Amino acid sequence: MGYFSVAAVPDVAGLRSQEACFYRYCDTAGLRPLATFSDQGPEPRPGFTRLVRFLERAKPGITVALTCLERLGGSPLEIAGRLLEIETLGARLHAIDDDLADPLTALLVAGSARKPAVRQDKARQQLQQKAMQAHGLGKPPFGYRIGPDSRFAVVPEEATMVQLIYRLYLQERMGLRLIAGHLNERGLTTRRGARWSVVTVRDILRNPVYQGTYSRFGVLVSGSHPPLVSRETFRRAQERRKAATPERQPAVEVHFALSGLVYCGYCGSRMVGATRRQAWLRKDRTQVRAVYRYYRCGSRVNQSVCGYHTHRADDLEAAVAGDVAAYLAGPEAATAARFHLARARALRDGLLARVKDALAGRMEGDALRQVAGELLSTARAAERAAAHPTPSRPEPPGDAGLPPWLGASPGAQRAVLQGLVQRVVVFDDHWETEVRDPLEHNQP
């Protein structure tokens, strides 16, 4: 199959040139042309849509040929999205002029942050030279500012808080959460005026800058600036931290479909996903292990404020899915179609977010292909349901957990809820779901 596209309308000569290249390629490679599709001008691309519909009905193994990857779109994001659309339908894409063994990997390498490697290496060398002179680079740590000589100088009021943290940790034997709570109760804040948390306290206790050691870009310079604590104090803090760190168990991936969307109804802070593992013996002496997921108030965990408010993740996710279904689905077939289209849009938006991660070098091509297969298969099923809507409402969640319309894989379930839910405010005895409609609020 061939796909041709031109940016200008009309550009018959450009399409004919690509068509001639396609037929020469088929003749040379011994391939039988099945069909050709073309687009002229910017988005949308009805020709590509017809190509996708053809592949959905065809058997796997078809080769889709085009002159170069740029025929798929004007940006790496558009090209990668359409390339994945073709691959996940069991077809193979071949760029005739580029002759790439793996077009997706080549695109990710070319479009990622790794591309200007020479320029980055030169910039890094320059920064290392400054670091060797103990020049402050970037934002100075809490307790310091950049002085006239480009080195760290002490900020007295912040330095006092740093010393207080070390004293509470070593002399008062307080834990990180208690220290954060102590500082917050006294009205002391971070440089940005925010509350102290477990993370900000931990970062101060483990940063060697406070013993007078400068560390940047692999360069260590001792005695480069005034210390806020002695080397002995810093060493004792590290020993206590190491002794208090439990031995790490093998990581088990746990999914939270509402991650970043759940807020505590009492303090307004985000609720974070957490797990609790239990093991017990049955009467027959066999051991049983279970993992429980739940959302808990982040300010309680990190800042020692608010109460211990939690909600079981399975129950909350199923209930929110029911709220989404009730909002978007109705008794009319047209409303049912809109519900399915909203699901599909949320899934495709989720895939674009993953493609952006891959182009930035934060995800490998194989992992992106796996995610794309999960999200696009569920999105296509939703689009087929929208094309043939029925007046019946989607099945509500039951005892088995999340409803079928969310998709089978955790990745698809998370993408749908992330795309259709604005926020969830949780109280001890009820919750409030704010649903968003991507067909209204996220137009391309």
Residue-wise pLDDT tens digits, 336-368: 677 788 888 888 999 999 999 999 888 888 899
Range 117-123, long-range pairs (CB < 8 A, 24+ positions): none
Contacts with 49 (C-beta within 8 Å, 6 or more apart), sequence order: none
* CB-CB contact of 195 with 305 (8 Å): yes
> Of 20-29, 185-194, 297-306, 405-414, where does mean pLDDT reach its minimum?
297-306
What phi and psi values does residue 294 have, to the nearest 5 degrees?
A: -155, 160
* CB-CB contact of 153 with 225 (8 Å): yes
| CATH architecture of residue range(s) 2-111 | 3-Layer(aba) Sandwich (3.40)
- Say what the pLDDT of residue 339 is: 77
* 383 vs 281: which has the higher pLDDT: 383
Helices (H), 88-155: 103-111, 117-132
* CB-CB contact of 343 with 382 (8 Å): yes
**Per mean pLDDT, which of 176-185, 253-262, 378-387 is the most reliable?**
176-185
* 130 vs 174: which has the higher pLDDT: 174
* Residue in the structure block whose two tokens are 């391939």: 31
CATH class, range 122-244: alpha beta
* pLDDT over 60 at 422, yes or no: yes
Using CA atoms, how far apart are residues 326 and 314, in angstroms rounded to an integer?
18
Q: Name the nearest CA neighbour of 382 among 426, 353, 351.
A: 351
207-232: per-residue pLDDT in tens? 988 998 877 655 566 777 889 999 99
**pLDDT band at 283, cuts 50/70/90?**
confident
* 394 vs 324: which has the higher pLDDT: 324
What phi and psi values does residue 213 have, to the nearest 5 degrees?
A: -105, 125
Specify the pTM.
Answer: 0.58
| Per-residue DSSP letter, 34 | -
What is each CA distance from 345 to 319, 377, 390, in whole angstroms? 21, 13, 19
Amino acid at 261: L
What is each CA distance from 230 to 124, 171, 213, 220, 226, in whole angstroms? 31, 14, 11, 17, 10
Query: Residue 425: beta bridge partners?
Result: 263, 432
126-173: per-residue pLDDT in tens? 555 554 555 555 678 899 998 887 788 899 999 999 999 999 999 999
- Say what the pLDDT of residue 122 is: 53
> Of 249-258, 307-316, 393-402, where does mean pLDDT reach its minimum?
393-402
Which residue spans within 167-242 are E strands per DSSP?
213-216, 219-222
Using CA atoms, how far apart are residues 169 and 25, in angstroms rounded to an integer?
71
Helices (H), 261-332: 298-303, 313-328
The ranges assigned to domains in the chain are 2-111, 122-244, 262-309, 314-441
Residue 50 CB burial class (10 angstroms; 0-12, 13-18, ≥19): middle
Task: For CA atoms 353, 356, 362, 365, give the dihedral sign.
Answer: positive
Using CA atoms, how far apart are residues 44 and 197, in angstroms rounded to an integer?
47
Which residue spans within 167-286 are E strands per DSSP?
213-216, 219-222, 262-264, 271-281
Fold: same for 2-111 and 122-244:
no
Residue 9 CB burial class (10 angstroms; 0-12, 13-18, ≥19): exposed
* Residue in the structure block whose two tokens are 């999200």: 375
**pLDDT band at 383, cuts 50/70/90?**
confident
* Torsion angle of C-alpha atoms 408, 413, 415, 420, degrees rounded to 10: 130
